[in-house]
A and B are shown apart, each in its own frame.
Chain A
Amino acid sequence: MPATSSSVGSGAAGAAVFADSDSRKYRYFDPRGKRASHYEDMTVDVQPDPERYLIQDWIIAFPNGEGAYDKSATKALSSNWHAFRAPDQEWERTHYQRQSKIESLIQGVISNARKFGVHRKFDKAWYKILQNQLGAWKHAEFGLGTSLMQAQRYGYTQMINNATLTNSSYKLRLAQDITLYLAEIGLDIDGWDDSAGKNTWLEDSMWQGTREFIETIMGAEDYLEQYFAINVVFEPLVGELFRSGFMVQVAAANGDSITPPVISAAEADYERNLANTIDLMDLLIRDEKHAAHNKKLFSGWLKKYEKLAKKAATGLQPIWSLPHSKPISFSDVQEVAQERFSKIKGELGL
């Protein structure tokens, strides 16, 4: 049945030629490249503000008079908050595809390994390490995920908030992945105590530096400070140090071929989140008006969180002595972590 309400009997593109009948691109923002990416089309300006199109300003305010989003939610300053585009170009479909693939992969690895009893061949001391140390680590990831969930409320643009939201989603997924992985292999291991990880996290002196670091991030009121602390400082100096520098590299030597694939998805997550963070921070550090202010601010954050990172990493050091087989030393991985951190700082000119 033809379109009865159309003067040309069709509602299809090209059925008639008239002014703007070929205007088939969003024309209210400037794309980063020559043509807008699909990510930009899905993301840019969905969160409006008085600088970009809210001609009536915010129409509901908090009791202090601030509108839904306010630049004062961070101490950082920008002459154009709208310039940021996330290098990972994530929108809903790509996010679900990636998360779903990771979940399928992890479930496949765990299920297959359990089927063949791979985990029964782990070194006995390694069981305790998984139960206690990896069990503690899941809480760190959860703390980062909830911090980022909080942070995604505050950014001045959709691009910043969506990058923060997907970062939160990745962290919360990892926290849950570790939780369920340990619970599942624990079903097959005599004497497994699933609550030991949380006790270790709350009480073991090795973990208190890390917990203090995480809680400091959770308690920060500046959303950008949280994003910075997590991706610029915590992840290279503590996150990768523990995940890749210990769990991934030490596992195989102790008969564990399951943990590395479960954990290593997180490193790929971090590569994306780091790229997003660096782009945003770089934009602020090179800001035409506020570069000096931002650099000083970030240097302050760096000082504050580097100190906490050092304390956290030092606290974790004894973990490298726990396994029977010790293929790599703490000092070696810490050197790698420091090198990585230096590169990040160097890239940002901090």
Chain B
Amino acid sequence: MSKTLTLNKITSQRGISVGDAAAKIADLGWNPSYVQEAMTYPTDYKITKTPKDPMKQVLRSYFPMEEEKDNRVYGALDAALRGDMFRNVEPRWIEWMKLFLAIIPFPEISAARSMAMVARLTPGEELRTGFTMQMVDEFRHSTIQMNLKKWYMENYIDPAGFDITEEAFGKCYATTIGRQFGEGFLTGDAITAASIYLTIVAETAFTNTLFVAMPSEAARNGDYALPTVFLSVQSDESRHIGNGHSMLMSMLKEPENYQLLERDMKYAFWQNHAIVDAAIGTFIEYGTTNRDKDKESYAEMWHRWIFEDYYRTYMLPLEKYGVKIHHDDVHEAWKRITEKMYVHTVAQFFAVGWPVNFWRIEAQTEKDFEWFEHKYPGWYAKFGEFWKWYEKLSHKGSKVVTFNEEVGYVYPHRCWSCLVPCLIREDIVVDEIDGQLHTFAHENDRWTAVEAFADEYQGRPTPAMGRFSGKREWETLYHGVDLADAIVDLNFVRSDGKTLIPQPHLRFDDKEMWTLDDVRGHTLMSPLKLLRDMSPADREQHLADYRAGFTINKCN
């Protein structure tokens, strides 16, 4: 038998185990005795059990690992340029990245900030190491995404929209939905925001659609930069999911948390569905040029990741602890995505509002219709004529689709809770908060705004819970303002002072591009203000008509 040569015998050095290293680092904390830490972000939850750190990673291995990940990402971006990626990339796809990448760095950095909130109120020090790494991870995600966006701006055919990105994020009627998402991570009850809404629902359930499904579609459209960045981002998420699960196990140790857990799981699941599915569903289904019938639709992916993986294997087991799970909400979300065509109504809404966006939206055409009908039976009857209208009215000189009565589209009410409009018309609900009338996309949205975000829940005081605030209905800001003036105020105008940043087509030609003059003469209105100004009888009739829906006229 020949002797095996092993370098290990020469070079090996006795070391400490990963478990020992994690334990020693967890022991860095202590209970202060001179001055107590201030509980600056309170919670109504009771957390007494010290959560475990499932990852047991230390910074010594973390930083080199992340640097290596970065090297691969930045190497891939260089390679993409050398491979002339942009010559073949589909503008239909990249245009939607103007919206997506305007939104996502803010929720990411909000997640970094929110780690401070959970770290302070979590007993023990073990999981603080996990929170520390998540904080630095989120800083990574936010800035690596800003870098990708800059890279698109420098290399894509039409940089307009990328060049005003963070300004647009604060102003646009579509990004308001993303702000609800990001602010939800770091405002209000610290556990509700930073643990349930962020890690236990958004990261555990919905990052699959965000960071896995989207990259696949990007690659189908010639964009292999986004997959490189976002799969690298997603590789950090398992750490965050572990943090969330560990916190959840600690919460479950206290029966008095169950009522709040039930509330927050319901709120977080429903709102993540309403927001993430609206945005990511639209990007994937409407930003693509690939109509391969063998690929999964967004609905199919949702069923696999959210319904099968998350609902069945993560949410359902919570019942054995005695936490009530709202099965009906999960089924209702599925019904909205399939039968009620939620994603398609959102894409339609974004298209109707194109003049107040900051990216281009191209019409869907015959080759898209067949795929949609195949994946979503009944789609053509509901949306086919609309997209024909949209294409027809995409030419400069047409009456803008937003205000064109010939089309038959009725501009929707905005949901006061998720900020996506009330697009499934029959589900609109109204209710009052502090004597003011509000509109909601669904009963669950009404429940969120009226019952969950309040100082009392089912008779239990909830002093730490957040409140909905601000000018939540975007349309209120420009009630009675001419469309062209609103666009100027939004700064969604190119630097020639007249050509709009948004365009309803992908024709890269000045002669085809809409200017302020092409949209002037139409007055924006707030549906909510109009509703509030109605008499009770008129309001009731209006809502009945709204629930009955609208019919898109035939486009000849």
Contacts and interface: CB of A to CB of B under 8 A. Distances in A.
B346 interface: no
B169 interface: yes
B87 A97 contact: no
A100 interface: yes
Contact of B165 (A10, A28, A62): A28
B119 A149 contact: yes
B16 interface: yes
Contact of B28 (A41, A57, A142): A142
B449 to A, nearest CB: 11
A63 B455 contact: yes
A220 B36 CA distance: 9
B64 interface: yes
B8 interface: no
A85 interface: no
A41 B146 contact: yes
A331 interface: no
A150 to B, nearest CB: 5
A54 to B, nearest CB: 5
Interface stretch (B494-502, B535-543, B544-552): B494-502
Contact of B477 (A24, A56, A99, A187): A56
Interface string A10-21: 111111101111
Nearest to B478: A55
B135 A24 contact: no
B446 interface: no
Given A23-B159, A92-B70, A176-B25, A56 B472 contact: yes
Given A3-B222, A60-B184, A44 B166 contact: yes
B88 interface: yes
Nearest to A219: B35
A152 B280 CA distance: 30
Given A13-B86, A150-B116, A211-B34, A56 B59 contact: no
Interface in B142-156: 142-144, 146-147, 150, 153-156
Contacts of A54: 170, 179
Contact of B469 (A45, A59, A145): A59
A161 B36 CA distance: 23
B59 A173 contact: yes
B71 to A, nearest CB: 9
A142 B59 CA distance: 13
B87 to A, nearest CB: 5
A194 B28 CA distance: 12
**Chain B residues touching A, range:** 35 or more
B82 interface: no
Given A3-B90, A219-B38, A8 B132 contact: no
Contact of A24 (B30, B84, B153): B153
Interface in A184-199: 184, 187-188, 194-195, 198
Nearest to B179: A59
Contacts of A187: 14-16
B40 A146 contact: no
A42 interface: yes
B52 to A, nearest CB: 18
B153 A63 contact: no
Contacts of B289: 4-5
B463 A63 contact: yes
B505 to A, nearest CB: 8
Nearest to A58: B470
Interface stretch (B107-115, B239-247, B434-442): B107-115
A11 B90 contact: yes
Nearest to B117: A153
Nearest to A155: B113
B150 A26 contact: yes
Residue from A13, A63, A153, A216 having most chain B Cβ neighbours under 10 A: A153
Given A15-B157, A100-B64, A47 B86 contact: no
A229 B352 CA distance: 53
Contacts of A172: 59, 132
A175 interface: yes
B21 interface: yes
A248 B29 CA distance: 25
Contacts of B120: 150
Contacts of B32: 215, 218-219
Contacts of A139: 28, 30
Contacts, number: 364
A25 B375 CA distance: 40
A183 B27 CA distance: 12
Nearest to B183: A60
Contact of A111 (B13, B93, B362): B13
A18 B183 contact: no
A43 interface: yes
A32 B109 CA distance: 23
Contact of B474 (A12, A13, A56, A201): A56
Given A56-B470, A103-B64, A165-B139, A45 B187 contact: no
A19 B495 contact: yes
A173 B183 contact: no
B282 interface: no
Interface string A106-146: 11000100110000000000000000000000110010011
B429 interface: no
Contacts of B222: 1, 3, 11
B164 A28 contact: yes
- Which one of B109, B116, B508 has the highest number of Cβ atoms from chain A below 10 Å of its Cβ? B116
B36 A19 contact: no
Given A7-B506, A146-B119, A180-B16, A165 B30 contact: no
Contacts of A255: none
B224 interface: no
Nearest to A29: B166
Given A10-B87, A183-B21, A19 B169 contact: no
Contact of B157 (A8, A29, A45): A8
Contacts of A28: 163-167
Contact of A95 (B93, B139, B165, B512): B139
Contact of A60 (B35, B66, B468): B468
B441 to A, nearest CB: 16
A21 B158 contact: yes
A215 B91 contact: no
B15 A184 contact: yes
A104 B65 CA distance: 11
A19, A58, A150, A166 pick with most chain B CB within 10 angstroms: A19
With most chain B CB atoms within 10 A of its CB, the pick from A55, A92, A179 is A92
A34 interface: no
B477 A146 contact: no
A19 B13 CA distance: 64
A5 B468 contact: no
Nearest to B288: A5
Nearest to B128: A146
Given A12-B157, A183-B21, A19 B150 contact: no
Interface of A: 1-8, 10-16, 18-29, 41-48, 52-63, 65, 67-68, 91-93, 95-97, 99-100, 102-104, 106-107, 111, 114-115, 138-139, 142, 145-146, 149-153, 158, 161-162, 165-166, 168-169, 172-173, 175-177, 179-180, 183-184, 187-188, 194-195, 198, 201-202, 211-212, 215-216, 218-221
Given A13-B155, A93-B70, 5 more contacts: A11-B90, A28-B166, A58-B187, A92-B140, A221-B40
17 contacts: A23-B163, A23-B494, A46-B142, A48-B106, A48-B166, A48-B170, A55-B171, A57-B469, A91-B147, A92-B139, A96-B140, A100-B63, A149-B116, A150-B119, A153-B41, A180-B21, A202-B30
Q: Nearest 5 CB-CB pairs, A to B?
A: A53-B170, A219-B35, A28-B167, A153-B116, A100-B67
